[in-house]
């Protein structure tokens, strides 16, 4: 009788200590964790129950799909959803509809590169219409965001970072501006656009 | 004497267990949801509903941007479309698909209304949220400047 109580109290005492230690690791109480400011890789693409904006007390939350499950077969990237969406489409890993109802409807693709010269050391920018018209309609950008006329648009990194011009989508849904080389793709000595 | 000590210990252990569980449950973590998740909270909090989370990543696997942003008229602005339930059940915005024909219907309130109460309207993980200095009220940017 007494020994069983003792056993119980030992278990009751150790469980919270273990839990406490575990939660200590989870909330990074150690001052010298490897990544202090950056989110470590294992915390990327968390399931809805653990992502910090979904309410784990909401019964629907547990039914939602964990992103990693969907992303598993897709080509990886180092920013955004950590998925290269353009490549995923090119490699037929996904087949998003171009029409709400008709799965067979094909997009109208425009294959035209616009090269914008850049001051300083950064390579010139190549804007590919092709990859954009795979996803979007001309009316999404023209004329509200970009005037469809050469030389008519002032674009700066500052305006992009503030969510204007390219920054309407890049930095919100499309790959973020930290992927500099995706746009600054043409070295100054190159003659042909990549 | 020994018996009461054990009793005290056992009770103390139980309290410790409770405290440990509580600590785990309330451990406040910065939000780290998926890039491009949009929280909509123009009316939800006021109406006593959880705010709505729209996952871009999930929808762009199934539809190109053009379907929503050209054909259905969603403006490129989180919270900027003034969506409400009447518009949805009349077949506009989310209701163009969440109608029991293309996708599950509106009775599944808690699949859309799934955010923690009080979460402000935002595009999650947007560049502005990613700056290492946390943006006030941005719903827990949680210092994160990739690379």
Sheet strands (E) in B26-144: 37-40, 52-55, 122-123
What CATH class has B31-147?
Answer: alpha beta
Asked if B104 is an interface residue toward chain A (Cβ–Cβ < 8 A), one would say no
Give pLDDT < 70 ranges for chain A.
1-28, 189-194
Among A140, A142, A116, A144, CA closest to A128: A116
Which two structure tokens, joined as six digits, stand for B3? 């018996």
Q: What is the ipTM of this complex?
A: 0.82
| For chain A, domain boundaries | 1-34, 83-194
User: Which residue of chain A has the CA closest to B51?
Assistant: A54
DSSP state at residue A83: B
Say how far apart CA A157 and CA A14 lie, in whole Å. 55
- pTM for the full predicted model: 0.85
Residue A1 pLDDT: 41
Q: Where are the beta strands (DSSP E) in chain A?
A: 113-116, 125-128
Confidence class for position B67, pLDDT limits 50, 70, 90: very high
Instruction: Report how far apart, in Å, the C-alpha atoms of B74 and of each of A140, A186, B7, B144 are.
Output: 10, 34, 64, 29
A40 and A34 in contact (C-beta within 8 Å)? Answer: yes
Q: Residue for token digits 């930290």?
A: A178
Q: How far is CA B18 from CA A15, B21, B27, in A?
A: 10, 5, 14
Q: Show me where the domains of chain B are located.
A: 1-30, 31-147
Contact across the interface for B117 and A52, Cβ inside 8 Å: no
pLDDT digits (tens, 9 = 90+) for B98-147: 999 999 999 999 999 999 999 999 998 776 676 655 544 443 333 332 22
Percent of chain A with pLDDT over 70: 82
Asked if B54 and A64 count as a contact pair (C-beta separation under 8 A), the reply is no
Distance CA A12, CA B12 (A): 8
Shortest CB distance from B132 goes to which of A16, A37, A43? A37
Q: Reduce the DSSP state of residue B40 to 3 states and report it.
A: strand
With CA atoms as reference, report the closest residue to A35 among B27, B32, B124, B36: B32
Q: In what order do the strands lie in the sheet with B122-123?
A: B52-55, B37-40, B122-123
Distance from CA of B110 to the nearest CA of A (A): 5
CA separation for the pair A68, A66 (Å, rounded) = 6
What would the pLDDT profile of B1-27 be if each residue is shown by its tens digit? 344 444 554 444 444 444 333 333 333
Scan residues 1-40 of B and list those with Cβ closer than 8 Å to A: 2-3, 6-7, 9-10, 12-14, 16-21, 23-24, 27, 29-37, 39
Q: Residue A4 has what pLDDT?
A: 53
- In terms of Cβ atoms closer than 10 Å to its own Cβ (0-12, 13-18, 19+), residue A172 is buried
What is the per-residue pLDDT for A16? Answer: 44
Q: Which of A20, A26, A161 sits opposite B20 (nearest CB)?
A: A20
3-state DSSP call for residue A128? strand
CA distance A81 to chain B (A): 5
CATH of domain A83-194: 3.90.10.10
B38: Cα separation from own chain's centroid: 8
Residue A139 to chain B, least CA–CA distance (Å): 7
How many beta carbons lie within 10 A of that of residue B43, not counting itself?
15
In our burial notation (b when 16+ CB lie closer than 10 A, e otherwise), range B49-59 reads bbbbbbbbbeb
Whole-angstrom distance, CA of residue B65 vs CA of residue B62? 10
């Amino acid at each position: 009788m007494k020994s069983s109580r003792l056993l119980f109290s030992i278990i009751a005492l150790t469980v919270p200590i273990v839990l406490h230690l575990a939660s200590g690791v989870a909330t990074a109480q150690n001052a010298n964790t490897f990544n202090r400011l950056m989110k470590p890789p294992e915390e990327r693409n968390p399931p809805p129950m653990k992502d910090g904006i979904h309410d784990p007390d909401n019964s629907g939350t547990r039914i939602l799909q964990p992103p990693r499950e969907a992303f598993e077969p897709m080509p990886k990237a180092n920013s955004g959803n950590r998925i290269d969406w353009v490549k995923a489409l090119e490699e037929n890993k996904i087949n998003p509809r171009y029409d709400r109802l008709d799965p067979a409807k094909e997009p109208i693709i425009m294959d035209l590169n616009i090269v914008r010269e850049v001051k300083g050391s950064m390579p010139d920018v190549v804007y590919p219409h092709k990859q954009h018209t795979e996803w979007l309609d001309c009316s999404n950008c023209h004329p509200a965001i970009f005037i469809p006329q050469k030389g008519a648009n002032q674009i700066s990194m500052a305006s992009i970072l503030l969510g204007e011009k390219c920054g309407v989508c890049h930095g919100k849904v499309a790959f973020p501006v930290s992927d500099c080389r995706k746009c600054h793709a043409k070295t100054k000595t190159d003659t042909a656009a990549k | 004497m020994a018996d009461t000590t054990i009793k005290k210990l056992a009770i103390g252990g139980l309290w410790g267990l409770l405290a440990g569980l509580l600590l785990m449950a309330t451990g406040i973590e910065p939000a780290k949801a998926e890039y491009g998740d949009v929280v909509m909270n123009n009316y939800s909090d006021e109406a006593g509903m959880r705010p709505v989370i729209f996952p871009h990543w999930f929808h762009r696997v199934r539809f190109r941007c053009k379907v929503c942003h050209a054909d259905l008229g969603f403006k490129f602005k989180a919270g900027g479309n003034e969506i409400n339930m009447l518009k949805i059940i009349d077949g506009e915005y989310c209701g163009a698909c969440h109608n029991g024909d293309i996708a599950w219907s509106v009775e599944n309130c808690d699949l859309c209304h799934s955010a923690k109460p009080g979460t402000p309207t935002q595009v999650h993980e947007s560049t502005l949220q990613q700056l290492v200095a946390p943006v006030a009220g941005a719903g827990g940017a949680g210092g994160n400047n990739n690379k």
